[in-house]
Chain A
Amino acid sequence: MLTHARAYAVVGLDAIPIEVETYVSERDGAGAFTIVGLPDKALQEARARIRSAAAAAGLLIHKAVILANLAPAEVRKEGAGFDLPIALAVMAGFGWVNQDTLGEVAAVGELAFDGRLRPVPGILSIAEAAVRDGRSTLLCPEQCAHEASLVPGCRPIGCATLREAVRILNGENVPRPIVAHQPRPSEVVPDLIDVRGQPSARRALEICAAGDHNLLMVGPPGVGKTMLAKRLAGILPPLDDEQALLTTRIHSAAGVLPDGSGLLRTPPFRAPHHSATMAALVGGGAKIRPGEVTLATGGVLFLDELPEFRRDALEALRVPLEDGSVRISRASGSLLLPARFALIAAMNPCPCGSPEPAACTCSRERVQAYQRKASGPLLDRIDVGVHLARPAPEVLRSDQPETTLQVRERVLAARALQATRGCVNGRIPVGRLDELAGPDEHGQQLLDQAATRLLLSPRGVHRIQRVARTIADLAGEVEVGVDSVAEAISLRLGALS
């Protein structure tokens, strides 16, 4: 008997519908279960899980001859999420599941040997695809139901076991209500009050948080570069609805979303180790996976020890930094992934990491080679640069810095001003730059002078304008005055020297 079920394959951040057809040709024969349609190894092994889970539900299929086909045949199918739809289609072939009801729903989930359902990654993408596909009901593991319910129009039914899914399809059980997981207390972000001294770096961090600008911190080891970066998450505004859904979908598809975390409201903070490859950073692999730049969308990408990163990996950041998206092309296809993040980078002034330039033991060539690692084109995309020096002992003892809460308030106020213009300062399109962030007369004069004297690229001028707008917003000024422009220019120079 020929039966059908609807499953979805996650491709990048989207999911495409997959028709599961099963043909049970014999119930009592030379037991053979075959899955065709480009399944990967994990999906091949679904045969063992389905046999065992079906037995746990009371149906012995080990002597049956079963063919399962996953259409369209040329799309590679991966992962254990197909367990549930295939199992349901097989059980429909045995008359255990009502085919008419099964034909109208979508299903996803991995089976355990005892019939329990295990959560799978990419639920948000799958739920969205199901709604587009005209199927509002999604049978899924109960741990995934809450995540799926975030998609408008989706009516997920969470099941604990295969048996429960079968009983619901046959109308013998009523779907259990979806339990909204307790939002786990978000990770405690350390407070800015811990960082003593470094007033200019704190200021730069605040400006970057307020306008989504890119920041480079240069300083000897142990002066607080990493400490500052780690505290950035605390002063960033929470994600709005649209952004939160996108970020959650990315993390869900990449399988890095913790169970039951619901919608991600805190901006992501990604800090890849400097051994990261280009594929890890921008995305890629035989099966295209989102990289760190995509995972950092809506938040911050922190590159500690910038010059230690591989050259090709750093250069690959140029395009996402400018476009806010990255196109990955592989033999298996081409995907456009979002990559809208603020870059925070930290580096030592030289490889030996001496606390004072005078104590440096590096040869000039080594220092140059080290600093060249962060190439011109990459630095050109960094708006704000600061040098951090070793604070004096009395500063360490007596400094009473502001708390995260105080800084956050100013950042939120500046962000609110930007919201009325409809665009974060760091992403004002060039065409609207003069309208939204044009400096006043004196400011313009200063900017023109700086452009000629400092050989600024047009992009450099635009970036200075954006930063100046943010500085004015933080001060609550309507016009971008000469002071704001001057500070923006000096911050930019800090990045290039």
Chain B
Amino acid sequence: MLGRNVRVGGTQVDLVCRRGNQLVLVEVKRRRTSARGGARQALGYDQARRLLRAGMQLRGRYSWVAGMRVDLVAIDGWRVQIVRSAIDGDTHLSESERVML
């Protein structure tokens, strides 16, 4: 665990962790009910993009980083679900940004 509520540029990252040589950004979403699509659906395109870009900036702060991913902790009422690699670079990043991943 490297930090909570870390600000990178204009983005706030809920949790920043390290797993091996991988930088893991965690976004926590909570919804009281899953009536309107639930927490997993609450992570929109723009926010996903911001998170990936924030991760790419954060990489520069740590010398050990060999890769990164963004996980999502989705809380619906009492049900907690962890989605690994919730955001994929193919759909959220431009060609030139993808090469930097």
Binding site for B on A (CB under 8 A): 25-26, 28-34, 36, 47, 62-63, 65, 67
Complex contact B101–A30 (CB within 8 A): yes
Quick check: is B68 within 8 A (CB to CB) of the other chain? yes
Of all chain A residues, the one with the shortest Cβ separation from B25 is: A30
A86 → chain B closest CB, angstroms: 15
Interface segment among B8-16, B33-41, B74-82, B92-100: the answer is: B92-100
Of all chain B residues, the one with the shortest Cβ separation from A33 is: B90
**Please, which residues of chain B bring their CB within 8 A of the CB of A47?**
90
| 6 A-B pairs with the lowest CB-CB distances in the bound complex, closest first | A32-B89, A26-B67, A31-B88, A63-B85, A29-B69, A32-B98
Known: A28-B22, A30-B52. 19 other contacts (CB 8 A): A26-B66, A26-B67, A28-B69, A29-B67, A30-B55, A30-B68, A30-B69, A30-B88, A30-B89, A31-B85, A31-B88, A31-B90, A32-B90, A32-B98, A34-B98, A34-B99, A47-B90, A63-B85, A65-B89
**Please, which residues of chain A bring their CB within 8 A of the CB of B67?**
25-26, 29, 65
Main secondary structure of the interface of B (DSSP, over half): mixed
Q: How large is the interface on B (under 10, 10 to 19, 20 to 34, 35 or more residues)?
A: 10 to 19
A214 → chain B closest CB, angstroms: 52
**Please, which residues of chain A bring their CB within 8 A of the CB of B26?**
none
- How far does the alpha carbon of A439 sit from the alpha carbon of B29 in the complex, in Å? 97
Contacts of B4-55 to chain A: CB distance below 8 A: 22, 52, 55
- How far does the alpha carbon of A36 sit from the alpha carbon of B70 in the complex, in Å? 25
Quick check: is B58 within 8 A (CB to CB) of the other chain? no
Residue in A25, A26, A29, A36 whose Cβ sees the most chain B Cβ within 10 Å:
A29
- How far does the alpha carbon of A33 sit from the alpha carbon of B88 in the complex, in Å? 10
Complex contact B101–A65 (CB within 8 A): yes
A28 contact from B84, B93, B98, B99, Cβ within 8 A? B84
- How far does the alpha carbon of A34 sit from the alpha carbon of B52 in the complex, in Å? 16
- How far does the alpha carbon of A63 sit from the alpha carbon of B70 in the complex, in Å? 11
Complex contact A31–B99 (CB within 8 A): no
- How far does the alpha carbon of A62 sit from the alpha carbon of B85 in the complex, in Å? 10
